[in-house]
């Protein structure tokens, strides 16, 4: 059975503000809980005007308190910038508050520009090559399995909980997939970022998976942009704002979500049009029938039965309706 989840970057539309975007996220999470979505995750982005999710841990606590059944998590905490011990304690704290509902999604991204990353690390130059070691330390802290020869042997991440939060690794290819599998973590493939290596990544994950305290069998999902409307034509129109938003974000320009009218009137170069067409491979757009068909095709290609959906259109009402239509499909 197909399962659907939500990845929320908390995008801010032009003319709106962070407070409104965060209120909308809370409303959407409550509705998603009612509609039967499996998870609601928050991304981590820094030093940007257009995305209001900078602290997933705070958003998790806020949303878990407002919902009853849906799992709540991060997609993901950018571990290279942080202490594995502190991340472990943050998520054990959340697990103690909301047992059995917390997901710890981990990313390897540097989190922004070099200057932004140094601001996050308080000027400490931390190598991304340390990520596998950091991930192993995090897993050890969460499972009380720090080896005797380790510098931090004897330290316990608190509060102690009956079980750890689920650990998921976000990635874009075979290397991240193999690392997730070797740790017994779940794997999230970022189709919405770069779909090219998806099939091989999922296969590598399944082949390298080892049972762990988190999962006994491989658990994977794909994150994808989706816009679902009453017709293919309407979905294409709604997606225009997301198209222009994504184009501008990739150029390092305005990260606020533009209106459909602005997208229609914008001037696009030949290179822009080529990029817009390429970006559509990262998305599923259309009527409920079209979206269902395309998601089932992706499910077959990736051999996964869960999708994590991002919908960054201009109007919140259109976003809500898209997610509600999706929930009715499976």
- Per-residue pLDDT 10s for the chain (330 aa) are 899 999 999 999 999 999 999 999 999 999 999 999 999 999 999 999 999 999 999 999 999 999 999 999 999 999 999 999 999 999 999 999 999 999 999 999 877 788 999 999 899 988 899 999 999 999 999 999 999 999 999 999 999 999 999 999 999 999 999 999 999 999 999 999 999 999 999 999 999 999 999 999 999 999 999 999 999 999 999 999 999 999 999 998 999 999 999 999 999 999 999 999 999 999 999 999 999 999 999 999 999 999 999 999 999 999 999 999 999 999
Distance (Å, whole) CA 247 – CA 2: 30
Domain 3-327: CATH class, spelled out: alpha beta
Q: Contact 228/235 with Cβ under 8 angstroms?
A: yes
Q: Contact 41/5 with Cβ under 8 angstroms?
A: yes
- Specify the pTM: 0.97
Distance (Å, whole) CA 269 – CA 226: 25
- Nearest to residue 100, comparing CAs of 70, 145, 135, 137? 70
Distance (Å, whole) CA 303 – CA 203: 8
Pairing, β 102-107 against β 71-74: parallel
Residue 235, SS3? Answer: helix
């Amino acid at each position: 059975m197909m399962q659907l989840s939500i990845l929320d970057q908390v995008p801010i539309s032009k003319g709106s503000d962070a407070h409104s975007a965060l209120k909308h996220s809370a409303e959407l999470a409550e509705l998603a809980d009612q509609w039967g979505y499996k998870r609601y995750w928050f991304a981590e982005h820094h030093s940007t005007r257009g995305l209001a999710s900078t602290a997933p841990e705070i958003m998790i606590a806020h949303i878990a308190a407002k919902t009853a059944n849906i799992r709540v998590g991060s997609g993901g905490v950018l571990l290279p910038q942080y202490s594995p011990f502190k991340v472990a304690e943050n998520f054990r704290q959340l697990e103690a508050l909301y047992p059995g509902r917390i997901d710890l999604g981990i990313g390897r991204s540097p989190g922004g520009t070099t200057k932004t990353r140094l601001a996050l690390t308080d000027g400490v130059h931390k190598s991304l090559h340390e990520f596998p070691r950091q991930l192993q330390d995090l897993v050890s802290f969460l499972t009380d399995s720090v080896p005797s020869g380790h510098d931090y042997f004897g330290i316990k991440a608190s509060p102690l909980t009956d079980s750890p939060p689920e650990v998921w690794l976000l990635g874009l290819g075979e290397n991240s997939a193999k690392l997730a599998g070797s740790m017994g973590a779940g794997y999230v493939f970022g189709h919405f970022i770069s779909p090219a290596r998806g099939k091989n990544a999922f296969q590598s994950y399944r082949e390298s998976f080892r049972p762990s305290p988190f999962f006994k069998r491989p658990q994977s999902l794909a994150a994808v942009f989706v816009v679902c409307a009453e017709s293919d034509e309407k979905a294409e129109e709604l997606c225009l704002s997301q198209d222009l938003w994504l184009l501008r974000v990739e150029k390092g320009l305005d990260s606020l979500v533009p209106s459909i009218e602005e997208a229609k009137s914008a001037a696009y170069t030949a290179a822009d049009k080529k990029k817009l067409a390429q970006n559509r491979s990262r998305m599923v757009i259309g009527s409920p029938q079209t979206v269902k068909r395309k998601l089932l095709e992706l499910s077959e290609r990736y051999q996964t039965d869960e999708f994590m959906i991002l919908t960054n259109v201009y109007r919140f009402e259109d976003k809500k309706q898209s997610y509600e239509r999706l929930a009715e499909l499976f």
